[in-house]
Structure 1
Amino acid sequence: MADDGVLDEGTETAALREVLAAEHAAVWGYGAVGAALPPDAREPVVAGDVAHRDVRDRLVALLDARGAEPVPREAGYTLPFPVLSPVDAAALAVVLEEGVSAAWVRLLDQATEPSVRELAVEELGAAEVRAVGWRAAAGRTPVTSAFPGLPR
């Protein structure tokens, strides 16, 4: 709250926009993940893509309701490494989920509204659940993170 009793949403709104940018990147990145997997192994890709599209749309609606301009998606994103195999695809999915997790943690730090905090906790947990499966598929250990979204 500002000194005049008015809720100050500037920082929270900026953090919401940052999460939206991360979700745009995840949606785009899941296309690269799916392209490197055989068709019979794409179920978790579809689930992750749908989850990120749904939350992206929720964030756009939330920002619109605040009168804030949603950050647009980029035409393309630079992959952090070549995705040439199913293991590479799983590793990319880990990067995507860890990226959105970090953005959700920053939102938790800036959130003032309880509903925004609840959304951030819910989505942070969902991203970590997806990341666990992808870490296992990429052969990474440990597969879980005690503090998802925070630097190791």
Structure 2
Amino acid sequence: MTNADNQALTAALSAEYAAVYAYGVITAYANPERLKLVSEYAAAHRARRDATIDLLESRNAAAPAPEAAYQPPFVVNDPIPAAKLAVAVETDAANAWRSVVERADSPDIRLTGIEALTESALRLANWQAILGTDPVTVAFPGQP
């Protein structure tokens, strides 16, 4: 159990908190045809948040509490900005989990980071496809 592992996990947890909050905003403005997808992705972030809290606590590390609110980087008032917010959220989550992969000392923590990065990259690619972005993904997701 290293401090680097705990710091990386704590940063990733912050990204998951923000993602859970943002998916509430996304839900409010998403295209009604995408609500099942949005619900699935929100649930995935809640599950990853909870697993990360459990992992930190199992390592006797304090899991920080979420912020009371998170400010979206732009106004979200219809389905297109909602989808763009989802892209921003998944990009931020991928960046955070890539950092876990790079910074963690423990192979188990790196594996957790790889799994979470992969999940975020897949969700990001799907949102990029929905928005018509070309290409829908990059060679190294989570790279700033």
User: Counterpart in 2 of 1:94?
Assistant: 87
The one-letter code sitting in structure 2 at the alignment partner of 1:48 is: Y
Q: Normalization by structure 2: what TM-score?
A: 0.95
Matches within 5 A, 1:17-96: 17-96=10-89
Unaligned runs of 5+ in 1: 1-6
Structure 2 distance, partners of 1:94, 1:16, is: 22
- How far does the alpha carbon of each residue in 1:58-117 deviate from its partner, in whole angstroms, 9 at most, with x for none? 110111111111021111001101112211111100100000100011111111111111
Structure 1 distance, partners of 2:138, 2:26, is: 21
Unaligned runs of 5+ in 2: none
Residue 117 of structure 2 is aligned to residue 147 of structure 1: no
Determine which structure has the larger helix proportion and give its number: 2
Root mean square deviation of aligned Cα: 1.1
Structure exhibiting the larger radius of gyration computed from Cα positions: 1
Cα shift at 1:17: 0.2
Residue 89 of structure 2 is aligned to residue 128 of structure 1: no
Q: Normalization by structure 1: what TM-score?
A: 0.90
Structure 2 distance, partners of 1:148, 1:38, is: 26
Structure 2 distance, partners of 1:70, 1:27, is: 16
SS in 2 for 1:42: helix
Are the aligned partners of 2:9 and 2:56 in contact in 1 as well (CA < 8 Å)? yes
Residue 112 of structure 2 is aligned to residue 112 of structure 1: no
Are the aligned partners of 1:87 and 1:137 in contact in 2 as well (CA < 8 Å)? no
Structure 2 distance, partners of 1:136, 1:39, is: 17
Question: After the TM superposition, which parts of structure 1 deviate over 3 Å for at least 4 consecutive aligned residues?
Answer: none
Percent of residue pairs identical: 38
Aligned residues: 144
Cα shift at 1:139: 2.6
Cα shift at 1:11: 1.3
SS in 1 for 2:139: coil
Cα shift at 1:129: 0.6
